[in-house]
Amino acid sequence: MGPETARPTPETVHFRQQLQDPKNRRKFIHTSIFYFSFIALGICRAQHGPAFLDLAQITGSNVEEASVFYTSLAVGGLVGSVIMGVLLEKFPKHRQALLASSCLLTAASACVIPWSRNYILTICLCGVNGILTSAFDSGGNVDMLSTWGVEGKLFIQILHFFFAIGTILAPLIVEPFLAERKTFNGTLCGIYDISKSFNYSDGPITGNSTANNILLPESCVPSESQIQYAYMIAASFGFLAGIMITAECCFSPPDTKGKTRNENNRNPRVLPKWLQVLILGNVGLFYFFNCSSISVIVGYMMAYFVKDLGWSKEKTANLASVFWAGYAASRLLCVILDRILTPRQLLYISNGLSVLSLGGLWLSIIHESEAGIWICLVLSSIGMSSIFPTGLLYLENDVMKVSGMVTSVIWVAGNFQGVVNPLLIGYLFQMVSYKWYIYLSFIEAILAFVFFLSTVLIVKTLLEKYGSLEVQSSGDEKITEEAFIEENERTKNNKHV
């Protein structure tokens, strides 16, 4: 063991030099704040799945009617992503203020949802929450790419890893407050299939007809839900994140010169309008079906396993936590794999694993293999987890700059599936079979893979032929020269020290 073994590596020296620069220090602080805020976002987003049956109980609705909550979240997400995309294009200097306000309002909207016992009001509250969460989600991704430029490959994967950490925490936070279902005799106590004439909180609603008076055995009536407190815990994370972003916005004004320099480090390719529309159309369909498959698996896990397989809510909540744990672990693994594999190669692997694992889940359910169900769900979470952020990196590195308009298309596609999917699967659950939980998710995973292959084919055949590189203006070159001079001076000073 000599002194050579303790000598710092070039990477650590470079990192220390970066931290000595106040501008880079602010960037790291800014990134750390957004990592925490995406944990809060993950909690707020993922808590709806484990709380699905309890929200139905609170509002006195069945599975098909409660599915409209997901539709409302998706419609709101569609609107929110468009609004944030437009605002970021119109007011780029106020990006921090926009993100801070959307984060604080997200926490406020999440807090009030379970306090509503009115079905229509809950739908409206879910819509507002969808607008705000999607606006912050899309804006946060654009901000991270703009902050780091082409260096943001690592940081964007870590950002989505912290989002996955939040999704792991969500079922654990919700589970202690879930209403206990005292029996699982579907013939005797199919309480969620009874029409809305029965209100689970206030008892049966009396009317002129005795048919409306439904008397259930005491053992069949679930206990009172207390998920309001779980939503308040989630909202507290969101409020803290919003306060941190607001404080940074007030005390660390944005550096416009640094941001311009980072924009110059991004993908310079310019595409003709028709090719841009063609690529974004395929990318939109790819994200539509990918998000559809994930939303079915996650959003209806509680409804399917409790109603069709007879699992307890606690056991299903633990399954959801394991799913999200695999989701987060895979995103952490992607941070390492990004140094080995290209985004396109990683997307091939992820899509293939998603299709194969959901096919295995189908077979496990048919053969009633509980071990197979747990294993295949974890594998599906590993396959699905890296698709969303890696798709953004694939576009940024190999296709074109991921601007506010591009993220709007992606988030609109990801949320538009929520307009159709909940209504479709709610109808299929009530009228056909709960087995459509796995049928639909498997079909949509296959379609996502098809449209990814279609996008790759278009990029390979048309991009080099019709795409052109953006030429920097003289002003931008001047900024780049100034940055180069500043970097040289800083290096000399470090040597003297």
pLDDT digits (tens, 9 = 90+) for 58-100: 888 887 788 788 888 888 888 887 888 788 878 877 788 888 8
Q: Among 205-219, 305-319, 432-446, whose mean pLDDT is lowest?
A: 205-219
Query: Which CATH fold topology does 25-181+222-496 show?
Result: Growth Hormone; Chain: A; (1.20.1250)
SS3 content of the chain, % helix, strand, coil (to 5): 80, 0, 20
pLDDT category of residue 475 using cuts at 50, 70 and 90: very low
pLDDT digits (tens, 9 = 90+) for 263-284: 545 555 677 788 888 888 898 8
* CA pair distance 274, 287, nearest whole angstrom: 20
% of the chain at pLDDT higher than 90: 11
Give the pairing of strands 269-270 and 468-469. antiparallel
Q: How many CB atoms lie within 10 A of CB 468?
A: 10
Outline where DSSP puts E strands in 149-259.
198-199, 203-204
- The answer to whether the beta carbons of residues 446 and 355 sit under 8 Å apart is yes
- The answer to whether the beta carbons of residues 142 and 402 sit under 8 Å apart is yes
Give residue limits of the domains in the chain.
Answer: 25-181+222-496
The pLDDT value recorded for residue 445 is 92
Q: Among 124-128, 138-142, 251-255, 479-483, whose mean pLDDT is lowest?
A: 479-483
* CA pair distance 470, 460, nearest whole angstrom: 20
Continuous segment of H or E residues that includes residue 384: helix 370-385
pLDDT digits (tens, 9 = 90+) for 337-360: 877 888 888 899 999 999 999 999
Question: pTM of the prediction?
Answer: 0.63
Q: Which residues contact 367 (CB under 8 A, 6 or more apart)?
A: none
The pLDDT value recorded for residue 448 is 92
Q: Which residues contact 443 (CB under 8 A, 6 or more apart)?
A: none
Between 119-148 and 153-174, two packed helices, what is the crossing angle to 10 degrees?
A: 150
Q: Is 172 exposed, middle or buried (0-12, 13-18, 19+ CB in 10 A)?
A: middle
pLDDT digits (tens, 9 = 90+) for 219-262: 455 567 788 898 999 899 989 988 998 888 777 655 444 444 45
* CA pair distance 445, 452, nearest whole angstrom: 11
Mean pLDDT, the chain, whole residue set: 75
Q: Which residues contact 115 (CB under 8 A, 6 or more apart)?
A: 228
Structure-derived torsion over alpha carbons of residues 497, 151, 155, 145, reported in degrees to the nearest 10: 120
Q: Bridge-partner residues for 468, per DSSP?
A: 270
Does residue 302 have a pLDDT over 50? Answer: yes
The pLDDT value recorded for residue 201 is 38
% of the chain at pLDDT higher than 70: 75
**What is the average pLDDT across 157-169?**
83
